[in-house]
A = this chain, B = another copy of it.
Amino acid sequence: MNSNRRILLKQRPQGMPTPDDFAIVEAPVPALGADEVLVRNRFLSLDPYMRGQMDGGKSYIQAIEIGDVMNGHTVGEVVESKNAAFAPGDLVWGPGHWQEYAVLKSPPLRKITGSHSPSAWLGPMGLPGWTAYVGLFDLGAPKPGETIVVSSATGAVGALVGQLAKRYGLRTVGIAGGEAKCRYAVDELGYDVCVDYKSSDFPAALAAACPTGVDIDFENVGGAILDAVWPLLNSHARVIICGLMAQYNLKTKYPGPELTHLLKSRLTIRGFIISDYAGRFPEAIAQMSARLASGEIKIREDITDGIENAPSAFIGMLQGRNFGKTIVRIG
Contacts and interface: CB of A to CB of B under 8 A. Distances in A.
Contacts of A267: 270-271
A15 to B, nearest CB: 13
Nearest to A223: B259
A315 interface: no
A52 interface: yes
Interface residues of A, number: 36
Most interface-central of A256, A264, A265 (chain B CB within 10 A): A264
A201 interface: no
Contacts of A262: 241, 256, 269-271
Contact of A244 (B61, B260, B269, B272): B260
Given A235-B59, A260-B244, A270 B272 contact: no
Interface string A274-301: 0010000000000000000000000000
A267 B267 CA distance: 14
Interface string A225-251: 010000000010000011110011000
A108 interface: no
A169 interface: no
A259 B256 contact: yes
A268 B257 CA distance: 14
Contacts of A271: 259, 262-268
Most interface-central of A241, A253, A276 (chain B CB within 10 A): A241
**Top 4 A-B pairs ranked by shortest CB distance?**
A256-B256, A255-B255, A263-B271, A262-B271
Interface of A: 52, 57, 59-61, 222, 226, 235, 241-244, 247-248, 253-273, 276
